[in-house]
């Protein structure tokens, strides 16, 4: 039950090694890491090179997150796809827990779990400036997902949107009948840092606008 771990990389030199290490220490070791460097201009490529014996590294001109994820999936050889961003962390048993769920539920296309958010250590002196929730978070976050690779052939690729490429993809997959569940196990930690997308004042208004447009489309189709 091999897993292809898709690691999109863009200017995350301060956090990348820690993210890679959180995959390498998994209690289940049947995986490959597909690292796609999306035109980084910092030290991220050099960090990837340090792990070359454990990674499959692909470099491309800056193309955005959707194309980066699609490239990773196209290069994957595993039965399952998982995602980790270059500044986030997995719990050590993420793959073991979720592969167990998929083994016990062979009818599922995907399984999700819970995550926690944390302030990056360099921000701890000004925590009031940053928007984040404490404790376990439910939902359908990309970094908590384990998805059968064949699903991406059936339900399509990621498309380029300003925010929420995974929200867009998963919404379309649900409309087409993807079968999924969600456990209460905490499998990932999302880092809140200075230039996190969720800290951009345009992020939530843009995401809400996108979600409203999707609801309007469904309403018009009814």
Residues 151, 191, 181: CA angle, nearest 5 degrees: 30
Grouping H, G, I as helix, E, B as strand and the rest as coil, residue 204 is helix
Domain layout of the chain by residue ranges: 3-221
Q: Each residue of 120-164: pLDDT tens digit?
A: 776 555 654 545 556 688 888 999 999 999 999 999 999 987 667
Question: Which residue in 167, 170, 178 sits closest to 108, CA to CA?
Answer: 178
The pLDDT value given to residue 200: 42
What top-level class would CATH report for the domain 3-221? alpha beta
Q: What's the chain's Rg over C-alpha atoms?
A: 17
The pLDDT value given to residue 131: 54
The pLDDT value given to residue 209: 45
Q: Each residue of 26-85: pLDDT tens digit?
A: 999 999 999 999 999 999 999 999 999 999 999 999 999 999 999 999 999 999 999 999
Question: Which residue in 108, 210, 199 sits closest to 168, CA to CA?
Answer: 210
């Amino acid at each position: 039950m091999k897993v292809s771990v898709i690691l999109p990389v863009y200017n995350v030199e301060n956090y990348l090694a820690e993210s890679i290490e959180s995959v390498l220490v998994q209690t289940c070791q049947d995986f490959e890491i597909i690292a796609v460097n999306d035109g980084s201009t910092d030290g991220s490529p050099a960090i990837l090179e340090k792990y070359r014996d454990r990674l499959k590294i692909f470099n491309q001109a800056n193309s955005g997150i959707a194309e980066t994820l699609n490239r990773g999936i196209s290069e994957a050889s595993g039965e399952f796809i998982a995602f980790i961003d270059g500044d986030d962390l997995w719990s050590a048993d993420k793959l073991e827990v979720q592969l167990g769920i998929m083994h016990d539920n062979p009818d599922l296309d995907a399984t999700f779990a819970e995550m926690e958010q944390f302030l990056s250590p360099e921000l701890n002196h000004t925590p009031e400036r940053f928007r984040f929730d404490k404790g376990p978070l439910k939902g359908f976050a990309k970094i908590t997902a384990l998805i059968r690779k064949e699903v991406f052939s059936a339900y399509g690729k990621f498309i380029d949107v300003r925010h929420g490429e995974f929200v867009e993809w998963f919404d379309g997959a649900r409309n087409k009948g993807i079968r999924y569940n969600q456990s209460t196990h905490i499998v990932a930690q999302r880092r809140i840092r200075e230039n996190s997308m969720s800290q951009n004042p345009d992020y939530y208004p843009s995401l809400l606008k996108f979600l409203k447009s999707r609801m309007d489309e469904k309403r018009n189709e009814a």
